Amino acid sequence: MAHSGFEGYEKRLELHFFGDDPTILQMGLRKLDFECMIQPTLEAVQCTVVSAVGNSYFDAYVLSESSLFVYPTKIIIKTCGTTQLLKSITPLIFYAHTHLGLTLCSCRYTRGSFIFPESQPFPHTSFEEEVTYLENTIPENLSLRKASIMPSKSSSHSWHVFTATNNPPLFHYESHPYTMEICMTDLDPTLARKFFQRPGDGKSGSSAGKDMTELSGINEINRNALICDFAFDPCGYSMNSMDEDWYSTIHVTPEDGYSYASFECAGSMSMNENMVHMLRKVVQIFRPGTMSVSTTTTSGCGDEAWRKVVAGAVEPMGLKCRSFAVDQFPAAGSVVFQTFTALRRKSE
């Protein structure tokens, strides 16, 4: 991408599977062989694993371009740059079915608006092309489908969503009734510099990542979480954290002119107090000029309640809600999309 900057905005893919054998379902997708199945899939996407950690619930991989999470019946892949994320679908369906007897029952694809859309390769040159690729790739039995571009007041900040689900649905979201995806641009330059490696300190990779985690305050978002972090050379940062079956992830592209950071987590409304703390801490760490928050929920919680929770958490931090959109997806819940800008930037 010599003619432009690095694309921070991620593409995100979430696949759910089901099966009949309880002995397989106990570990499920976590039994996929790394070298023979996971690694070739990531090579098709054009990324690699740089660090990994696991617990009794799931495995989390930091990638050269973002993150991979593998649960027994769910896979989440999130990649940035010029990766070809959707090319992971066919091999994952094949490996899950032939080696584990698992069948795809739900697919969700989301992303923001690329900073450098002209640099994206097939099949990511446009959302229309992505939807066509998805429609032609996922099995026909996922017949409940919808594609949507959720707008904001700025044409450069839209939220793209595609969902496809079995009819009737063969899965449920009980453990993770909401997923929150936060995208931030125009980071405070002083705070963004914390994600540049320090010349001559002899640290790199995980050791430099640990320093960035502590220096930035990322370790204070959830003090109970196990963090797997990694620093890139000369700049950039990725982190996955796990707290029992809950995950969160952060990715930072700190270069001035196209600085970007993302934060994603899954949770439940019973964690409302923790959610407010996380939102405020994330804003404090990055002080973005613009921020979007997309909340996918399957819990039946009212959309207006989500609007109030998110806005109530971040507006006291100097951000103003500029737009609010809601959309419903068949058997896949609802999405609430909010955008914010910093009051300090507007006054400047």
Active site residue 14: no
* 80 has catalytic annotation: yes
* Number of neighbours of residue 25 by Cβ within 10 angstroms: 17
10 among known catalytic residues: yes
Q: Is 64 a catalytic residue?
A: no
- Total residue count of the chain as it appears in this document: 348
- Known catalytic membership, residue 214: no
CA distance 100 to 313: 43
The H-or-E segment that residue 242 falls in is strand 237-243
- Closest by CA to 43, choosing from 19, 20, 13, 63, is 63
Q: Among residues 113, 152, 216, 238, which one is catalytic?
A: 238
* 138's tokens: 């996922």
From the candidates 10, 14, 130, 181, which is the catalytic residue?
10
Structure-derived torsion over alpha carbons of residues 210, 214, 220, 226, reported in degrees to the nearest 10: 20
Provide the pairing of β-strand 66-70 with 59-63.
antiparallel
Q: In this structure, are residues 205 and 197 in contact, taking their beta carbons and an 8 Å threshold?
A: no
- The answer to whether residues 63 and 250 touch, using CB atoms and an 8 Å cutoff, is no
Report CA 275 to chain centroid distance, whole Å: 16
Give the span between the Cα atoms of 289 and 62, in whole angstroms.
27
* Catalytically annotated residue among 16, 160, 176, 251: 251
One of 14, 47, 65, 80 is an active-site residue; which one?
Answer: 80
* Those residues with Cβ within 8 angstroms of residue 3's Cβ, 6 or more apart along the chain or in another chain: 119
**CA 298 and chain centroid, separation:** 17
**Which sequence positions are flagged as catalytic?**
7, 10, 66, 80, 238, 251
